[in-house]
Amino acid sequence: MAKQKYESREKNKVKNFEFRCASPQSMKLFEEALVYEDRYFKDMTLQSKSILESFVYFTETEDGKKTRLCYYEDAISITLSDWRFVEKKLRKFDGHCNFRRLEIAIKQGLPKEERKTAFLHEMIHAYEAELNWEKYDRMKEILLLLLYRSLVKRLGEKKADSLLRIANKSEFWEKGHSLLFALKSFDLDVRLKLPFGSVFGYEKEKWF
């Protein structure tokens, strides 16, 4: 099963590269995604210069030369560079993340701010899909804890706990949204100075 999943993924990587090269619109969306990746997702891409810094990475010195290493050798950095990004006439949602095809679709004609939050929403889904490989299990646990700790540092423990309680209600995390997803969406709300629930979507702003 794992081999089939890997082979299917490799085929989609090639298809998506060819699709981007043939579609200026897809290439533009791809470039936008990479900007967001660098700006907002250093944590979910497991970069050393993120909240993971002191918990996952360490410096080794040999012959006077310093090298940054990861405690988890197999947990290499994640990127969406193999994904496809498109705009479509979606009916129900502002965006959709297809894990099998490695595709993020954004609804055509969205206002600028709604489009950005929809894009970020689907990117969280995509990074979660990438983190679902077994080799990232421990990293996901650490990331969950550190995202919560980061919210405590920014908002205070009382407010962070309030957000956590709301995110833990079944009515809130329905439709495939995990606690990790909720915490990252709150992180982006804070960084973008948006009302809580904006990146999560589904009119969750009314919960706060």
Q: How far is CA 41 from the centre of its chain?
A: 6
Enumerate residues 6+ apart whose C-beta is below 8 A from 172.
Answer: 166, 182, 204, 207
First-to-last C-alpha distance (Å) of the chain: 42
Helices and strands counted in the chain (H then E): 8, 5
Q: Are 77 and 130 in contact (CB under 8 A)?
A: no
Q: What per-residue confidence (pLDDT) applies to 114?
A: 93
Indicate whether 3 pLDDT > 50: no
Closest to 125 in 3D by CA, of 110, 109, 142, 105: 105
Query: Six-digit token pair at 208?
Result: 């706060």
The share of the chain scoring above pLDDT 90, in percent, equals 37
Q: What per-residue confidence (pLDDT) applies to 36?
A: 95
Q: What per-residue confidence (pLDDT) applies to 27?
A: 84
CATH architecture of 1-40+78-132: 2-Layer Sandwich (3.30)
- Reported as a pLDDT band with limits 50, 70 and 90, residue 106 is very high
Give the model confidence (pLDDT) of 140-195 as tens digits.
Answer: 888 898 899 999 999 999 999 998 888 877 666 666 788 899 999 999 999 999 99
Q: Which amino acid is at 66?
A: K
The SS3 call for residue 112 is: helix
Cut 0.85: pTM above it: no
Weakest mean pLDDT among 84-88, 125-129, 135-139: 135-139
Domains of the chain, by residue range, sit at 1-40+78-132
